[in-house]
Each structure stands twice: as C-alpha cells, then as structure tokens.
Amino acid sequence: MSVALFGILLGVFFTLAVYTFLYKENPYSRFAEYVFIGAATGYGIAYDLDWLKGQWVGVWSKTIGDSIAFVLALLLSVLWYFRFSKKYFFLYRIPLAITVGTSIGLALRGVVFAQVLEQVRATAALKVVGVDAWTAFNNFVTMLIVVCTLAYFTFTLKQEAAFWKPVNKFARYAMMIGFGAAYGYTVLTRMAVFIGRVQFLLGIPPNPVEAKMFFPWVALILLGTLLGYDYYKKTKK
C-alpha cells in the first residue's frame, strides 16, 4: 500500500471512529478525540512559529532597534507561562495587558461606527412614506422590532408600567420568529458538515475516490468489533 493510500485509509478510519460515538462512547472514539486535541495543538504551534520566523527574517531583523524590540516581545511572550504559577502570576498579566489593551483599543474605535452609529443610521434612514406599500410595511416592522427589542434588553428593570407589557410581548414574539430563522440556518450548517464527511467517505470528487473502497470495510470492522464485544459481554453474564 502506498503512503498516499494509507493516508486515505487513516482519514476513513478517523472519520468513522468519531461517528462510533453515536453508538456509545468507546475506545475508537476516545482515541480519535485525543489524537484530535494533540494534532490541533501541535498544528497551531507550527503555524505560530512559522509566522514568527517570517516576521523576524522579513521585518524585525533589519535594524538594531527593531531587533531589540522583537527580542523584547519574545521575552514578554514567555511571561504567558506564569499563568500556571501562583507566586509569579503578576508577570503573566504584562503580556495579557499588552494584547488586551491593543485589541480593546482597536475594537473600540471600530465598534462605535460599525455596530452602533451605522446600524442606528440604517434604521433611521428607512422610509415609510414615499415608497410602495409593501416596502413601507417592511420598513415600519423593521423599525418597530429594532426599537422594541432594544427596549426589551436595555430597560430590564422597573417595567411594571402597563405601557411596557405590549412592548415586551411584541419584542418576545419578534425574537422568537427571528431566532426561528437562525435555527433554520443552524440545521443547514449541522447537516452540511456531515454531508461533507459523507462525500469524503463516498469518494465524491474532489475527495479521493479510494475512500469509497475503504469505507464499507472500515465501517464493518469498527461496528463489528463494538457490537461483537457488547454481545460477548452480554452472553458472558
């Protein structure tokens, strides 16, 4: 068997090993889980180191000042390890403060426009007059839902006044309809991911066609051993 073919066999085995979990937790699925955690972590580290090397070679090694800054950054990044020390935990807070500070600063400057002002502007710009009746209705419903949902979340206290009751009720109903749409799309994603795996198992191009050859045998062996072992245990009792 060539290495490439063995690779496809591995892919089929790991795919089916994960799905044996549907029968019940078993050594195959457990093995798959542990291999996944190990592989994913190792993979992430490899990519990080590659990017770091690229940064050093391509950018920071050009001048002495930059080189010092890069080494300092690396030293600071080592301080992340003090996450696990109670005594030196204060050192871990330094790289954390640098990354949190920068990312909060970056997010803060964008969030005002993208998530607040632009969205308020887009809602306020909706026309209810001077457009056709259907658009006017849709725009009115949109504005109503936005305002009521915002009120529902913002004024969570002191809503005893009779005025709030219909507002809250409307917001709740609108949210349920909206979340229904989200639910429909969630179903799509869940199915699609599994469909992707089935396409792999059946060797539908661009997946390797050889997978189709391994699929029934590996499935038989995995299921057979699991069911067989359970039957053996049952009869032994």
Partner 1 sequence: MAWFRRVEIPIAITIIFALIQVIPYFVEMGTAVEAIQDKIVRWSLVVGTGALLVGLASLLLIHVPRVTRRRTYWGYSLVLIIVMFLMAILGLPFPELGLGLTGYWFKFLYDNVLVPLSSSLYGILAFYITSAAYRAFKARSLEAALLLISGTILVLRNAPLGTFLIPQIADLGDWLYNIPNMAINRAIMIGGGLGAMVLGIRVLLGYERGYLRGGE
Partner 2 sequence: MATSRVWEKLEALDARIIYLILWIVILLPFIYPIGLPVSIGPQALAYAKAIDELPAGSIVVVSFDFSFGGLGELYPIAVATLHHLFTRPVKVVIIAIWVDGPPIADMVLKELKPEQPPYNKKYGVDWIFLGYTPGGETAMAALGKDFWSTLPTDYYYKKSVSEYPIMQGLRSAKDVALLVSFETGTPGADEWVRQWYVPYKVPMIVGCIGVMAPTIAPYLAGGQIKGALPGLRAAAEYELIIGRKGLGVASADVLSTSHIVFVLFVIIGNIAYFMRRRSK
Sites for partner 2 among residues 37-76 (CB under 8 A): 43-44, 47-48, 50-51, 54-55, 57-59
Closest by Cα among 121, 149, 125, 120 to 139: 125
Whole-angstrom distance, CA of residue 10 vs CA of residue 32: 11
- Our finding on whether 23 is near partner 2 (CB under 8 A) is yes
Amino acid occupying residue 185: Y
Site string for partner 2, 101-140 (x = CB under 8 A): -xx--xx-xxx-xxx--xx-xx------------------
Q: Which structure tokens are listed for 129? A: 């007059």
Nearer to partner 2, 38 or 54 (CB): 54
Closest by Cα among 4, 8, 3, 24 to 218: 8
The binder of 41, among partner 1, partner 2, none, by C-beta within 5 to 8 A per type, is partner 1
Interior angle at CA 44, CA 42 and CA 48, nearest 5: 115
8 Å CB contact between 16 and 31: no
**Which residues are near partner 2 by CB under 8 A?**
22-23, 43-44, 47-48, 50-51, 54-55, 57-59, 99, 102-103, 106-107, 109-111, 113-115, 118-119, 121-122, 178, 181-182, 185-189, 191-199, 202, 204, 206
